[in-house]
């Protein structure tokens, strides 16, 4: 089956530093990747949609200058949290999709737990 | 835009049944159901593609009413392992002509021995 990996799985950083999270589709090419953020006891909220070779589409309320997304290839998307602050501490999950119809299935990465001190 | 799930939380005794509903204000082209354990990524349970479709996965089944823009997940004879948070997910058509994938509000389910 389709596998999506995320790295790192867990990261602790100091306030003000930047953190990069990688999302890779290991055995398929993903036309689109999505980034989600999940706070404790809440749902997964879509942050942005990333298409290979083009700029990411951010959801309302998500700062594009703070959450930099790069989708350099069909198998790799990165999310960089710039100048991280404690309120950015969260569980970040990526997903990858093949195709662009309303019935496509998502394949999720295992998630990255970010803790900002 | 986010599909609303009900109930928000439910507590069951082992062996009891539960129904989780997912209702959308937008058209649903497909519905996915997931279960998430604490600290882990969501685990895919099943996908429903056609209006009226019903599917089963062991003692977990689901239905999809496209006209009502609703889906329901049925858990029968619940087991301790069913505990977790359940999410519905769907592709939402955007004004730019593409689809984005969003999750429902979630339902926390706890099964007691």
CA trace torsion A20, A115, A43, A32 (10° rounding): 10
Given a cut of 70, is residue B72 above it in pLDDT? yes
Q: How confident is the model at residue B109 (pLDDT cuts 50, 70, 90)?
A: very high
Q: How far apart (Å, rounded) are the C-alpha atoms in residues A27 and B71? A: 31
Q: How confident is the model at residue B57 (pLDDT cuts 50, 70, 90)?
A: low
A96: nearest CA partner in chain B: B101
Given a cut of 90, is residue B49 above it in pLDDT? no
Nearest to A44 among B44, B100, B103 (CB): B103
Q: Chain B residues within 8 A (CB-CB) of chain A?
A: 2, 29-30, 32, 39-42, 44, 47, 49, 87, 89, 91, 93, 96, 98-106, 108
Q: Which residues of B touch A111 (CB under 8 A)?
A: 40-41
Given a cut of 70, is residue B51 above it in pLDDT? no
Q: How far apart (Å, rounded) are the C-alpha atoms in residues B89 and B32? A: 5
Q: How far apart (Å, rounded) are the C-alpha atoms in residues B91 and B32? A: 9
Task: Chain B: give the shortest CA distance to residue A10, in Å.
Answer: 11
* pLDDT, averaged in runs of 10, over chain A (117 residues): 90 96 91 92 92 87 94 91 96 85 78 96
């Amino acid at each position: 089956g389709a596998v999506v990996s995320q790295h790192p799985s867990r990261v602790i950083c100091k306030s003000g530093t930047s953190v990069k999270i990688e999302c890779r589709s290991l055995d398929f090419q993903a036309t689109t990747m999505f980034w989600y953020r999940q706070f404790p006891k809440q749902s997964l909220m879509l942050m942005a949609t990333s298409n290979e070779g083009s700029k990411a589409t951010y959801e309302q309320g998500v700062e594009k200058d703070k959450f930099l997304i790069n989708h350099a290839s069909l198998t790799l998307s990165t999310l960089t949290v710039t100048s991280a602050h404690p309120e950015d501490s969260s569980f970040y999950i990526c997903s990858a999709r093949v195709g662009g119809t309303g019935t496509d299935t998502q394949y999720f990465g295992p998630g990255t737990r970010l803790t900002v001190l | 835009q986010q599909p609303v799930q009900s109930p928000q939380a439910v507590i069951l005794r082992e062996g009891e049944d539960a129904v989780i509903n997912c209702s959308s204000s937008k058209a649903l082209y497909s519905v996915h159901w997931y279960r998430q354990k604490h600290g882990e990524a969501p685990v895919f349970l099943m996908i429903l593609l056609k209006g009226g479709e019903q599917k089963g996965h062991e003692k977990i089944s689901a239905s999809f009413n496209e006209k009502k823009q609703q889906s329901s997940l049925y858990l029968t004879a619940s087991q301790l392992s069913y505990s977790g948070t359940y999410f519905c997910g769907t592709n939402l058509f955007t004004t730019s002509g593409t689809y984005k994938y969003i999750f429902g509000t979630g339902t926390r389910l706890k099964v007691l021995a």
